[in-house]
Amino acid sequence: MAASPGRIEFIGNHTDYNGGSVLGVALDKEITVAASPRQDGRFVFFSPGRAAPFSAKAQFPLQKPSGGDSWAAYPLGILQVLQEETGWYPRGGLSLYVHSTVPEGAGLSSSAALELASLEAVLGISGLTMERSRKVLLAQAAENRFVGVPCGILDQAVSCFGETDHLVRIDCATTEFSATPMPEGLRFCIFNTNCKHSLVDSKYSERHAECRRALEKLQEGEPQLQHLALADAELLDNLSAEPVLQKRARHVVEENRRVGECVDALAAGNTAKVGELLFASHASSRDLFENSIPELDTLVDLLREQRDRGVLGARLTGGGFGGAVMALVRDLPDVEAVVAAYRQRHPEAPELSVLEVASGAGTRRL
Ligand code: GLA
């Protein structure tokens, strides 16, 4: 049995696949997976409490199993990539039992939690051992190659390397991971819009492609530049003929700088500065990367109005185009006032879900 947590992207929006840095927090909400080998040549997955058809047992053949759009695609992807990388495969079959306290579709990365908990549980029965950084890369590869989302390393790395009362810092160019202590007395409030852009995956891929194109253009002037996040701000003038690419690149470069400033502000205990950086990150997502939606912008504005009630900062967390806002708070804000004002401005929007979360431990064998 193994467990792995959901995560918050604290700051560092779309910096991960651009070779920048990012800070995340592992949560006290997690996915637990129990695995046992079978002898009848079948995969049998069971996750009570999820939507049909997986509320009952789901069965897959051993050869070329496909989970389609369901949650089963994640553990199946893990098995596939594990076989490609190590040669190990549960040849007699496998039972997986999955239990989750991570809300789905809230931008808290239940998918990475499921990947890492499945991997860790399966490693337990395989007898293989693996460094944590390899587990992260393997889980990311499962999502990229098997599920088909070109995500960076943030979600898997934070889920794997999380520590209670710490932020996980990832240098995505070198894949180095470290833990940064969180100032005492801070909590997180998640406001999930429950809005999911129907094109969320294709929008993510579109931004990914725009960043790649921006990098290629910049490399024409500076061939040794390896990652967009590491470009000098002045170099971005070279993109003036491509205003959209220039905006995307500015977001990535400035966001990467904000991550560094945030690390310094955290070390100095300057929580007011941390909060400012979170608001600035959101404004950049809204105006430059254009991955926000009006509902997220409203929430951030309403939370900014609650600064005297203990809200330090707020921003969209994760890929964007829907999803959730995270607020860093010293005291619980007036949630009812936020919800009421939100409802007035967006009467047609889905109900908000509000969740208070704390930091938690990373992937572990139970
Ligand atoms: C999603 C992806 C991450 C990262 C964020 C944006 O959560 O899975 O890899 O790119 O979006 O920062």
Q: Which of 13, 154, 255, 281 to mutate to test the pocket of ligand 1 (most atoms within 8 A of CB)?
A: 154
Catalytic site residue from 16, 28, 40, 155:
155
Q: Whose CA is nearest to atom 8 of ligand 1?
A: 151
State the pLDDT at residue 200. Answer: 66
Query: What pLDDT digit, counting tens, does each position of 209-258 carry?
Result: 999 999 999 999 999 999 999 999 999 999 999 999 999 999 999 999 99
The ligand 1 atom nearest the CA atom of 319: 11
pLDDT of 104 > 80? The answer is no
State the pLDDT at residue 67. Answer: 75
C-alpha–C-alpha distance, residues 330 and 353, integer Å = 20
The ligand 1 atom nearest the CA atom of 107: 7
Instruction: Determine how β-strand 21-37 pairs with β-strand 166-171.
Output: antiparallel
| Burial class for 73, CB neighbours closer than 10 Å (0-12, 13-18, 19+) | buried
State the pLDDT at residue 72. Answer: 87
155 catalytic per annotation? yes
Contact 49, 60 (CB under 8 A): no
C-alpha–C-alpha distance, residues 29 and 164, integer Å = 12
pTM above 0.85, yes or no: yes
The ligand 1 atom nearest the CA atom of 22: 12
Query: What pLDDT digit, counting tens, does each position of 41-81 carry?
Result: 989 998 887 654 445 567 777 777 777 777 888 999 999 99
Q: What percent of the chain has pLDDT over 70?
A: 96
Q: Which of 151, 156, 256, 285 to mutate to test the pocket of ligand 1 (most atoms within 8 A of CB)?
A: 151
C-alpha–C-alpha distance, residues 19 and 226, integer Å = 8
Contact 234, 208 (CB under 8 A): no
247 lines ligand 1 (CB under 6 A): no
Q: What average pLDDT does the chain have?
A: 93
Instruction: Determine how β-strand 176-181 pairs with β-strand 166-171.
Output: antiparallel
State the pLDDT at residue 38. Answer: 95
107 lines ligand 1 (CB under 6 A): no
Q: How far is CA 295 from CA 191, 324, 336, 347, in A?
A: 10, 9, 16, 11
The ligand 1 atom nearest the CA atom of 204: 11
State the pLDDT at residue 48. Answer: 80
14 lines ligand 1 (CB under 6 A): yes
C-alpha–C-alpha distance, residues 324 and 295, integer Å = 9
Ligand 1 centre from 14 Cα, in Å? 6
319 lines ligand 1 (CB under 6 A): yes
Contact 284, 254 (CB under 8 A): yes
Confidence of residue 148 (pLDDT cuts 50, 70, 90): confident
Query: What pLDDT digit, counting tens, does each position of 327-336 carry?
Result: 999 988 899 9
Q: Which of 7, 9, 315, 321 to mutate to test the pocket of ligand 1 (most atoms within 8 A of CB)?
A: 9
155 lines ligand 1 (CB under 6 A): yes
Among 72-76, 117-121, 138-142, whose mean pLDDT is lowest?
72-76
C-alpha–C-alpha distance, residues 173 and 230, integer Å = 9
Query: What pLDDT digit, counting tens, does each position of 270-289 carry?
Result: 999 999 999 999 999 999 99
Who's near 275: CB < 8 A, 6+ residues apart? 307, 311, 312, 313, 328
State the pLDDT at residue 198. Answer: 60
143 lines ligand 1 (CB under 6 A): no
